[in-house]
A = this chain, B = another copy of it.
């Protein structure tokens, strides 16, 4: 089915997903998407001069099935004579320990494994099998949960991660149906991803109920959400670029900060981020918000648990005419001292 392959090639070109001589970790669960991705990349191996590794994460969520998945993917790797990397982690135990949902835990450990594999093999890319339908569902879930304008862009076709390797999603513009047709046509076997179907409850409701319901309002809703996400992602990328440049103008160089306490609240070791209020407020509100976000991220490590009402309070702190104020947010203390706003990690600092 040349149209499928061409479509993926267009995506690869559009987002510049691969360069010559890329070493690629292909994440293969054994399900339709990742198996199609692997065979597709294998067929493009010569053309793009890629070195491929098959990586499989054994999540141990359902014992026997998980073992059968390992065998299945190993066999494909052998068949294609590609190196096979596998890692077993006890996801349910990790989830319990970290108080995460099974889904979050599996996601965390899977990405960690892929990053480690990339590092070990000196890989430049990690290829994931997410398709267009996954993207639409993701956008809709983020809309329901309040993902902000960052979240509404959905999953990025290409994203740089810590080690300098890139996450790439070559199937992000092809539909689930196109992928299944390709597999059928090529007589390629895959395994039903039972964990995916059962653990990801919200996604399934979105897929099987909400989307068909919204199609009654507009049969093209999926495509519309997809296009909207693309536009928002582009704009978000541009705004982040601007904010990052602005951040170095607005912030003082970060200083490390030893443990101690400030006005009765424990502050834990970490970066102390200082912004100039005068400089901050010279920027457009849209950029100001992003600068505050970057400051929180730098001080606290992430922006988890910071919700809409916290942003409101932070806004209040900035706009109040008092010269000395402080605000305690989850794991974070923010102090206004004349022209400075100081962000320090605080409280129970155990979660990363």
Q: Which residues of A contact B (CB under 8 A)?
A: 143-146, 148-149, 152, 202, 205-206, 210, 213-214, 217-218, 220-221, 224-225, 227-228, 231-232, 234-235, 237-239, 241, 284-287, 289, 308
Contacts and interface: CB of A to CB of B under 8 A. Distances in A.
Given A205-B217, A213-B213, A228 B287 contact: no
A224 B202 CA distance: 17
A231 B238 CA distance: 15
Contact of A144 (B144, B221, B237, B289): B221
Nearest to A213: B213
A143 B218 CA distance: 10
Contacts of A221: 144
B234 A286 contact: yes
Contacts of A237: 284, 286
A285 B236 CA distance: 11
Contacts of A202: 217
B228 A145 contact: no
A239 B232 CA distance: 12
Given A149-B228, A217-B205, A285 B144 contact: no
A286 B235 contact: yes
A238 B284 contact: yes
Contacts of A287: 238
Contacts of A148: 228, 231
Contact of A284 (B213, B225, B241, B289): B241
A149 B232 contact: yes
30 contacts: A143-B224, A143-B225, A143-B228, A144-B214, A144-B218, A144-B221, A145-B218, A145-B224, A146-B218, A146-B220, A146-B224, A146-B228, A148-B228, A149-B228, A149-B231, A149-B232, A149-B235, A152-B228, A205-B217, A206-B217, A210-B217, A231-B289, A232-B232, A234-B285, A234-B286, A235-B235, A238-B239, A238-B286, A239-B239, A241-B284
Contacts of A241: 284
Contacts of A289: 231, 234
Contacts of A210: 217
Nearest to A234: B286
A220 B308 CA distance: 12
Nearest to A312: B227
A206 B146 CA distance: 19
